[in-house]
Amino acid sequence: MPPVTTRSNTEPRLSRPVQVAESIKDWVVAEGLKAGDRLPGEADLIVRFGMAKGTIREAMRILEAQGLIKTRTGPGGGSFVHEVSRERAKALLGNYFFFKNLTIGDIYQLRLTLEPELAASLAGNLPEDVLQLLERNIAQYSRPARDLEEERAQHVASLRFHAILAEQARNPLLGFVIDFMVKLLSDLTVYRRLYSPPNIELWQQGHDHQKALVKALRDGDADCARAIMTDHMETAWKLMRQQEVEVQNRFISE
């Protein structure tokens, strides 16, 4: 089995905490530990690695930052293997794109192909309560917004529709990517400029698409769901392009 840490020897040597963190990762996989399993305590690790408390603690912080462990105080406390949460994964990936400046078009290029794929795969596979959740979500923006603030709230809510679908994906990769794009679009806080009036017609179309989509999903009509979602993505993109938008990147936390 190839070592987990494959590293060229020209790079600057790794700091000890990083080395320790890597060793612990290796140890966890070697030991076959799963989420929830307990790691050796601080004191234990100190003697095992023959290193100072601070070094061990820094190593744990590294693992924690990557979302791989959680730590609790008190008796029975300690560090525990933790399945990286989707939120954490999205946040970490968001930091990467913080420096690239993505355009709305970049995101929609992917949405345009992936969201219809997701919709098709979900047709006939959603439990009734999820379908109802989708319908309740749609109800939040059944009428055009009256002011800019409400418009923004509706926009975020309509994105949430897609996040709900993404959560239901059978394909974890597909679900994650779509969920992440929804997050990007939500974070890119959008301020519509005053001189570009809201396009009520397009907005209404988007709303109708979502209603029709829920029906297709309930009926199990995959082809129909795919077609509707394709239309929906196209109008959504058109809507975004028409509104002059101001994009604001930011770091993501926790």
Instruction: Based on the shown chain and the rule CB under 8 A, indicate whether residue 251 belongs to the binding site for a copy of itself.
Output: yes
Instruction: Based on the shown chain and the rule CB under 8 A, indicate whether residue 13 belongs to the binding site for a copy of itself.
Output: no
Instruction: Based on the shown chain and the rule CB under 7 A, indicate whether residue 189 belongs to the binding site for DNA.
Output: no
131 binds, among DNA, a copy of itself, none (CB under 5 to 8 A by kind): none
Helix boundaries (H) for the chain? 16-31, 42-49, 53-65, 86-99, 104-122, 128-139, 148-167, 172-187, 200-219, 222-242
Q: State how far the Cα of 115 lies from the Cα of 36, in Å rounded to an integer.
A: 34
In the stretch 104-123, what mask flags binding to a copy of itself with x, by CB under 8 A?
--xx-xx--xx--x------
92 binds, among a copy of itself, DNA, none (CB under 5 to 8 A by kind): a copy of itself
| Bridge partner residues of 70 (DSSP) | 80
Instruction: Based on the shown chain and the rule CB under 8 A, indicate whether residue 174 belongs to the binding site for a copy of itself.
Output: yes
Q: State how far the Cα of 186 lies from the Cα of 203, in Å rounded to an integer.
A: 17
Which tokens belong to 128?
């009734």
Q: What are phi and psi of 71, to 5 degrees?
A: -125, 135
Please report, as ranges, the residues that interact with a copy of itself according to CB under 8 A.
2, 4-7, 14-15, 17, 21-22, 25-26, 28-29, 35, 54, 57-58, 61-68, 71, 83-84, 86, 88-89, 92-93, 95-100, 102, 106-107, 109-110, 113-114, 117, 171-174, 176-177, 181, 189, 250-254
